[in-house]
Amino acid sequence: MNRLTTKSFGQVLVIATLLLSIGCEKENPPTLIQNTPQKPTLQPATGQAQPRLKTIQLYLGAAELTAEIADENHERQMGMMHRTTMADKEAMLFVFPRPHRTGFWMKNTIVPLSIAYIDPASRVMEIYDLEPGNTQPVESISARVKYALEVNQGWFKRNGIKAGTVIATDRGSLAVSVKGL
């Protein structure tokens, strides 16, 4: 019986040691999952904005914009980051090599913007408002986005621009006008 008691005592000791070691482990904090992103606290832009890019005149119905053209990968990646202002009739036109589904975020961007996703025929497909500092991408529904146009927040609404509006230039469509610029 002494042997049985020693064996039982040993098992209890091993189990107690395991339980104590588990209890002493650092507890991981619970993961917080949110369905809606919180508005970030805005910080002044501390990085350096890209230099002003080449421009093109855009016509959206009766409205006119001077848009900087971001057609190189590094220009598209930087976009409006670290800029502190955008004039009312200015914009940034993002030109992609091929139509695709895309998303834009507002990392290091403090200017409130609206964005239009545009198809290869220069037709506005979708319009969204973008919140300064929001790092959650605003994804396009369409997989046919060839261009994206960022303007001051509310500009599209103030100028009656909606899905279906066709964008023109002095030389015709966006496809014709931005080729080779």
**For residue 103, which of 53, 73, 131, 145 has the smallest C-alpha distance?**
145
Query: In this structure, are residues 171 and 122 in contact, taking their beta carbons and an 8 Å threshold?
Result: no
Over residues 2-16, the mean pLDDT reads 54
Lowest mean pLDDT among 38-42, 54-58, 95-99, 169-173: 38-42
Quote the CA–CA distance of 79 and 148 in Å, as a whole number. Answer: 11
CB 56 within 8 A of CB 178: yes
**pLDDT band per the 50, 70, 90 thresholds, residue 17:** low
Residue pLDDT, tens place only, 46-97: 589 989 999 999 999 999 999 999 999 999 999 999 999 999 999 999 999 9
Tell the CATH superfamily of the 55-178 domain: Protein of unknown function DUF192 (2.60.120.1140)
pLDDT tens for 114-147 read 999 999 999 999 999 999 999 999 999 999 999 9
Domain boundaries of the chain, sorted by first residue: 55-178
- The pLDDT > 90 percentage for the chain reads 67
